[in-house]
Amino acid sequence: MIAAGVDGQQYKLGLPGVSPLKTSRISFEKIYGQPVVKNPENRVFKYRTDNLSIEVTYTGKPCSEGIRGEYRVRQNTLLYYTVFYRKPVKISDVKFDINRFAKDESGDLLNHFQYINLDEGVTIRAYVPGGDNNTYVNGIKYYPSLKEEAHRKCSKGK
């Protein structure tokens, strides 16, 4: 469960009851409430809890054009989501095996980088603020794992 708490708390990856290409919008909103920001044209919605901001993108019509429709799942199924902590969280407080992630420092911003695990569908964005030796989480994005994507992706002939 990803839930902010007291300093030194261990944060687990993922939101309880939420899986890309499996969780419906209705199910997500039963857990996290109604969105505070809606962009239905792009299928992007933003939610807030006391400790988190969550940006969710839902699928479009199955096997249709564009990334939001390239899967064999019902429309309005969660495609991917990003969790942003509302208070700074040290990366050392996030429970994950760093050896299963590739570090990507190719971005344009100094002291910003990502830990990527395509097999599991997780990217952890991190940064080191100036004058601080700690690394903090900027956001954690969850998307279909390679296995789930291969299983649910529409064929070129639809």
Q: Tens of pLDDT along 21-75? A: 999 999 999 999 999 998 877 889 999 999 999 999 999 999 987 778 899 999 9
> Which residue is it, tokens 């429309």?
75
Q: Which amino acid is present at 139?
A: G
Average pLDDT, the chain: 88
State residue 9's pLDDT score.
66
Structure tokens at 7: 């300093």
Closest-CA residue to 122 (of 135, 141, 108, 139): 141
Q: How far apart are CA 53 and CA 77, in angstroms?
A: 19
Q: What is the pTM of this model?
A: 0.87
Taking alpha carbons only, the member of 13, 15, 23, 2 closest to residue 148 is 23
Name the pairing type of β-strands 94-95 and 11-12.
Answer: parallel
Instruction: Write out the two tokens for 23.
Output: 């969780």
Give the DSSP per-residue string, 15-46.
Answer: -TT--TTT-BHHHHHHHH-S-SEEETTTTEEE
More confident residue, 7 or 4: 7
Flag whether pLDDT at 94 surpasses 60: yes
Strand, helix or coil at 123? strand
- The pLDDT assigned to 11 comes to 83
Cα separation, 85 vs 88, in Å, equals 7
